[in-house]
A and B are shown apart, each in its own frame.
Chain A
């Protein structure tokens, strides 16, 4: 089975601070890491490979510095790494990013594509599903457990109040939750070998047969960011337990009157 995992290099949000004036992330001096959900996707792919055989290719779109994220994936045991990087790709929103990654995946070939559910810096959860739409393959999002049966994948999909058990034929795309698999450490030998391997770089020239300039980059991005802001922390709530219905109603009414809501 040819498994391709799409990963994103993100700032380690544990280390991130916000600029209090502009409300944007201060990225300077913040270490970069592989997005958590994506790393679980790598682990799930490696476990599948160990179980049914095949190869794991890891793909990352980003600036040349994303190289280190791919080396880490190789050091965990991935077989091949592809960096999708070009000036033309800069400024892409989720839609344009998915168009570019889909073009790269068509060039690489795949039976199963795994992406993380969402990235900790953008939090959109859009790129994975959009890649599947671009590739016109079935997708199952929020995968918590996966297994292989013949040419089908059985996915336990997390839902708000239940799970869905879904059987899907390959080729297909899954978006991985962190719960899917606890990522292994790199192996020390893997680190040494990761820097001996070549990382393929796909630029615009490599993908231009299946890309139009107007569909990618800032120009190809339908998203306009109106404003970005930090969620304000809410105050701690109060718990009123063991009240009768009448008492509960009174507490709520009193509170609303106190706040001049009613």
Chain B
């Protein structure tokens, strides 16, 4: 067993760190304030391969792995969680559905532009009335010759403001429950696709997140991923992998916040001393770093298990459950370490504390993670 990163992973980490520090950190606050994701940044993410890391070079991808992708999510989220989720939804949700369940023809047509840096993807599963209970889908796909006609509304579709390719789930047979859901690849330009306004949120405010309605959208049968009824399985598989990304995002936000807090306590003087010289500060920082490291190791374990073809689902759920709760504790403690300044929008820990909350909710709530973990333990 070796806990050290390989040379190639270290150099990847170096790239992600430099990119984050130079291209994202200077604009993160402004993007949060304006609640608009910088489209020039999207182009740069595509240009340097940050949107196609764990995908084969046969399709124009980077040829990396999930550990590399987790390193990317951590380094990017250290400076901006909104950019983190933009990469995550594209990579581990949209692309993974096509990579895992598409035919060779579908991969050439839909996956290639997503991983070679040409297009951005998004993922439409959640509906206003179907969250954790994904089986309650109301979006319908009705077969009509060689096309399906899709009608329905999806909510909280990350990247939908600018994405080109939408992986969307719809009921093809309501009577079959989860086995009646199918997955489709929809092009933004197809008539009837309507992307609504940016949804106002507490954190990750720069990330594009809209309601998307599908009104009589005519989708070729050739755009269906897997068999009719395979949609639920496809979505759950994508979310299993996605959770590794969210765990890594949580680790990144937490480490980013702690780094900021450490910088501050080394400078701040009270009672005639730097507050870093107080044992209370030192113990707090030691506790926080320990929690972050524990979450990081869990995340890497899940990523490596996935890379090695193992059963990563429960490990990914554990990493996500632990890391997302950890980042909420850590960012709250970092704001506390910085006192009144930590609460000010001038310092990034305020944004990081707001950004942290969503990690306990999206790509499966903490409660859903416990369902997955308990299910794998077969204790009922």
A residues with CB within 8 A of B: 68, 71-72, 75, 185-195
* A71 pairs with B11, CB closer than 8 A: yes
B8-63, CB < 8 A from A: 8, 11-12, 14-15, 18-19, 48-50, 52-53, 57, 61-63
Q: What residues of A have a CB within 8 angstroms of the CB of B62 in the complex? A: 188-189, 192
Q: What residues of A have a CB within 8 angstroms of the CB of B63 in the complex? A: 189, 192-193
* A189 pairs with B49, CB closer than 8 A: yes
Q: What residues of B have a CB within 8 angstroms of the CB of A188 in the complex? A: 12, 15, 48-50, 52-53, 62, 64, 68, 72
In the A-B complex, the 6 residue pairs with the smallest Cβ-Cβ separation, listed nearest first, are A188-B49, A195-B8, A189-B62, A188-B62, A186-B15, A192-B63
B51-90, CB < 8 A from A: 52-53, 57, 61-64, 68, 72
* Chain B residue at minimal CB-CB distance from A74: B11
* Chain A residue at minimal CB-CB distance from B116: A189
Q: Bound state CA distance, A186 and B8, in angstroms? A: 12
List, sorted by A's number, 10 A–B pairs whose CB atoms are closer than 8 Å. Answer: A72-B14, A185-B19, A185-B48, A188-B12, A188-B15, A188-B53, A188-B64, A192-B62, A192-B63, A195-B7
Given contacts A185-B15, A192-B63, 6 further A-B contacts (CB under 8 A): A186-B48, A188-B53, A189-B61, A189-B63, A191-B8, A194-B8
Binary CB contact string for chain B from 309 to 353 against chain A (1 if under 8 A, 0 otherwise): 000000000000000000000000000000000000000000000
CB B44 to nearest CB in A, in angstroms, measures 9
Q: What residues of A have a CB within 8 angstroms of the CB of B50 in the complex? A: 188
Q: Bound state CA distance, A171 and B346, in angstroms? A: 55
CB A101 to nearest CB in B, in angstroms, measures 25
CB A161 to nearest CB in B, in angstroms, measures 33
Chain B interface, >50% SS class? helix
B residues with CB within 8 A of A: 7-8, 11-12, 14-15, 18-19, 48-50, 52-53, 57, 61-64, 68, 72
Q: Bound state CA distance, A125 and B19, in angstroms? A: 30
Q: Bound state CA distance, A192 and B63, in angstroms? A: 7
* B57 pairs with A191, CB closer than 8 A: no
CB A36 to nearest CB in B, in angstroms, measures 14
CB A192 to nearest CB in B, in angstroms, measures 5
| Candidate in A72, A75, A187, A191 with the most chain B CB atoms within 10 angstroms | A191
CB B178 to nearest CB in A, in angstroms, measures 36
Q: What residues of B have a CB within 8 angstroms of the CB of A195 in the complex? A: 7-8, 11
* Chain A residue at minimal CB-CB distance from B69: A188
CB A42 to nearest CB in B, in angstroms, measures 15
Q: What residues of B have a CB within 8 angstroms of the CB of A191 in the complex? A: 8, 11-12, 15, 64
Given A192-B62, A192-B64, A193-B63: A186 in contact with B57 (beta carbons within 8 A): no
* Chain A residue at minimal CB-CB distance from B10: A68
Q: Bound state CA distance, A72 and B8, in angstroms? A: 10
Q: Bound state CA distance, A72 and B7, in angstroms? A: 11
Q: What residues of A have a CB within 8 angstroms of the CB of B72 in the complex? A: 188
Q: What residues of B have a CB within 8 angstroms of the CB of A75 in the complex? A: 11, 15
CB A222 to nearest CB in B, in angstroms, measures 38
CB A68 to nearest CB in B, in angstroms, measures 7
CB B111 to nearest CB in A, in angstroms, measures 15
Q: Bound state CA distance, A71 and B10, in angstroms? A: 11
| Candidate in B8, B18, B19, B57 with the most chain A CB atoms within 10 angstroms | B8
* B49 pairs with A187, CB closer than 8 A: yes
CB B77 to nearest CB in A, in angstroms, measures 16
* A68 pairs with B11, CB closer than 8 A: yes
Q: What residues of A have a CB within 8 angstroms of the CB of B11 in the complex? A: 68, 71-72, 75, 186, 191, 194-195
Q: Bound state CA distance, A188 and B12, in angstroms? A: 7
* A189 pairs with B8, CB closer than 8 A: no
Q: What residues of B have a CB within 8 angstroms of the CB of A194 in the complex? A: 8, 11
Q: Bound state CA distance, A195 and B48, in angstroms? A: 17
CB A183 to nearest CB in B, in angstroms, measures 11
Q: What residues of B have a CB within 8 angstroms of the CB of A187 in the complex? A: 48-49
* A71 pairs with B7, CB closer than 8 A: yes
* B15 pairs with A192, CB closer than 8 A: no
Given A192-B63, A192-B64: A185 in contact with B8 (beta carbons within 8 A): no
Q: Bound state CA distance, A72 and B68, in angstroms? A: 16
Q: Bound state CA distance, A151 and B380, in angstroms? A: 78
Q: Bound state CA distance, A193 and B18, in angstroms? A: 19
| Candidate in B49, B57, B72 with the most chain A CB atoms within 10 angstroms | B49
* Chain B residue at minimal CB-CB distance from A185: B48
CB B307 to nearest CB in A, in angstroms, measures 13
| Candidate in A186, A188, A193, A195 with the most chain B CB atoms within 10 angstroms | A188
CB A83 to nearest CB in B, in angstroms, measures 14
Q: Bound state CA distance, A192 and B6, in angstroms? A: 11
* B48 pairs with A68, CB closer than 8 A: no
CB A75 to nearest CB in B, in angstroms, measures 7
Q: Bound state CA distance, A234 and B63, in angstroms? A: 53
Q: What residues of A have a CB within 8 angstroms of the CB of B49 in the complex? A: 187-190
Q: What residues of B have a CB within 8 angstroms of the CB of A72 in the complex? A: 11, 14
Q: Bound state CA distance, A169 and B311, in angstroms? A: 62
* A189 pairs with B57, CB closer than 8 A: yes
Q: What residues of B have a CB within 8 angstroms of the CB of A190 in the complex? A: 49
Q: What residues of B have a CB within 8 angstroms of the CB of A192 in the complex? A: 8, 12, 62-64, 68
CB B332 to nearest CB in A, in angstroms, measures 32
CB B83 to nearest CB in A, in angstroms, measures 15
CB A206 to nearest CB in B, in angstroms, measures 24
* A68 pairs with B15, CB closer than 8 A: no
Q: Bound state CA distance, A34 and B50, in angstroms? A: 22
* Chain A residue at minimal CB-CB distance from B64: A192
* Chain A residue at minimal CB-CB distance from B72: A188
